Amino acid sequence: MPEQPSNGATLLALSGVSKSFGAVRALVDGQLELRAGEVHALVGENGAGKSTLVKILAGVHSPDGGVLTLDGEPSTFTGPADARGAGIAVIYQEPTLFPDLSVTENIFMGRQPLRGLRRIDAASMRRRTAELFARLGVHLDPDRPARGLSIADQQLVEIAKALSFDARVLVMDEPTAALSGVEVERLFAVVRSLRESGAAILFISHRFDEVFALCQRITVMRDGRWVSTDRVEDLDVGQVVRRMVGREISQLYPKQQTQAGDVALEVRDLTRQGVFENVSFTLRRGEIVALAGLVGAGRSEVVRAVFGVDRYDSGEILVDGVRLPRGKPAAAISAGVALVPEDRRQQGLVMELSIERNATLPRRWSLARLGLLGPRVEREDAFGWTQRLQVKAGALSDPVSTLSGGNQQKVVLAKWLSTSPKVLIVDEPTRGIDVGTKAEVHRLMSQLAADGVAVLMVSSELPEVLGMADRVLVMHEGRLVEEIARERADEESVMLAATGQSSGGAA
């Protein structure tokens, strides 16, 4: 790693930075000071300006106004290469790997070491990749293609890529959103090591336990403006939340009491060899059932099989008593099943298309007249749902990629809620979104259940599972090992079952 200033010295600072995109003022007063040997948290609701500020640090966007200083000197980045040359590495919230290239090729893309004048030194790249993975405690084959990697493994490859720059300033945008507890602790050990070596780390997370465990100072943003910067020991979670949202959040998990109705979904002995085995459960109208377990337990694979995206070898799936044909998502949609996937960018949205086009994708044929869908019809339909879900956007014709993570998640929800589903499957519904938007999503799920929709929720966040579920189904190594009633569910009982230990029998 390059020579660092002494711990505590300011490496990078932003003052009065602004940025607009057309009529949308994404950043009005961005202020930030990153010191050597410090982990600095940046928190705020989705749409608060955090992502825009990060892209200015990365050289992706040029600010309209304000000052960026590096080592006390005013600096200007004309592109990402300038930022990397200055020792700034960014790990974005969503992995951006080339699926057909190997892990090693992704890490060294655009800066492959050469042997002689023309030949890429593949052996050197593989050796360096193995060293990076060893440093992270990751067991991945450097020659493995990126295609097929889990979200957690993709994120770890992105972290290794950033570390390969020997950065002085490391920006981590929701790096733990898809990681298991063990992987988070491993990452934290690396971050602490970087901090001790004199690096400045900007840590962006919606998980307050991580912020308070890892960071020394917290900067809060709201509506594109700097609100405050304080030492962690001078704050508590309640103060941070109030500054973020400008109001009290009295209930993050607004679960309505409902009476479960008829069985809407029944899964019988669902099996996919080597992935999950003999999974059986029922889901009734008006209830929220959580599918819990550790990363790799097979939860996402089960719900993808239920929706028809992934194959399964045996078993059957029934909606309102009618068997669904195997491997046909269109049949599932026609039967009233909707799936909000874990990876919203790759599986939930078409990032190049507009907000309105994404919001109407599942119903384009039903909205069309004589096979044609006019822009006015499409826009009016999308407007209704995006207004209902309070999507913050400049214009519905803008690419959905311009939205913050939380607003992208709302568009995915709007897309599927517009189909009036009987069964709504949500896989990690609040991954990577802020506390205010989480409350909105939870309130929406609770209202849908009250209206008679059967909701199946996959979540890695225990507070979310305990706060929202009428029943908790716990998976361990591809098997459904326990069902726990709401009144008996607590962190200990769920974790005991998730790690293969009984918490006292099925409810």
The rounded distance, in Å, linking the Cα atoms of 206 and 44 is 8
Q: Which of 245, 279, 310 lies at the terminal end of a domain, its last residue?
A: 245
385 within a domain of the structure (yes/no): no
Going by their DSSP bridges, the two strands 314-319 and 322-323 should be labelled as: antiparallel
Distance of alpha carbon 327 from alpha carbon 454, whole angstroms: 21
3-state DSSP call for residue 289?
strand
If asked whether residues 173 and 238 sit together in one domain, one would say: yes
User: Are 72 and 29 within one domain?
Assistant: yes
Residue 93 and residue 15 share a domain: yes
505, part of any domain: no
Same domain, 91 and 180: yes
* 392 falls within a domain: no
Backbone φ, ψ for residue 129 (5° rounding): -60, -45
Q: How far apart are CA 74 and CA 63, in angstroms?
A: 13
Chosen domain end from 196, 218, 245: 245
Clarify whether residues 199 and 286 are in a common domain: no
Tell me the DSSP string of 340-361: E-S-IIIII--TTSBHHHHHHG
Residues 92 and 176 in one domain: yes
Q: Domain for residue 408, yes or no?
A: no
Q: Report the domain count for the chain.
A: 3
Tell me what pLDDT residue 2 has.
Answer: 37
Range of the domain at 303: 263-336+421-498
Let me know: does 30 contact 226? Beta carbons within 8 Å. Answer: yes
Q: Buried b vs exposed e over 414-450: b needs ≥16 C-beta within 10 Å?
A: bbbbbbebbbbbbbbbbbbbbbbbbbbbbbbbbebbe
Both 93 and 111 in one domain: the answer is no
Determine the pLDDT at residue 361. 80
In-domain check, residue 450: yes
Q: Is residue 58 part of a domain?
A: yes
Predicted pLDDT of residue 348: 83
Residue 31 lies in a domain: yes
Instruction: Write down the H helix ranges in 137-180.
Output: 151-163
Same domain, 302 and 286: yes
358 within a domain of the structure (yes/no): no
pTM of the model: 0.60
> In this structure, are 326 and 194 located in the same domain?
no
| pLDDT value of position 338 | 93
123 and 270 in one domain? no
| CATH number reported for the structural domain that contains residue 16 in this entry | 3.40.50.300
CA 394/CA 114 separation, integer angstroms: 45
Q: Please, what are the averages of pLDDT over each run of 10 residues along the chain (507 residues)?
A: 57 94 84 95 84 92 94 92 89 82 92 81 92 83 90 80 84 78 78 87 89 95 92 90 68 80 96 95 96 87 94 95 93 93 83 85 70 71 80 84 83 87 92 75 91 94 88 94 92 84 53
Same domain, 119 and 44: no
Residues 91 and 191 in one domain: yes
Question: Do you know the residue count of the chain?
Answer: 507
Q: Which residues contact 377 (CB under 8 A, 6 or more apart)?
A: 367, 369
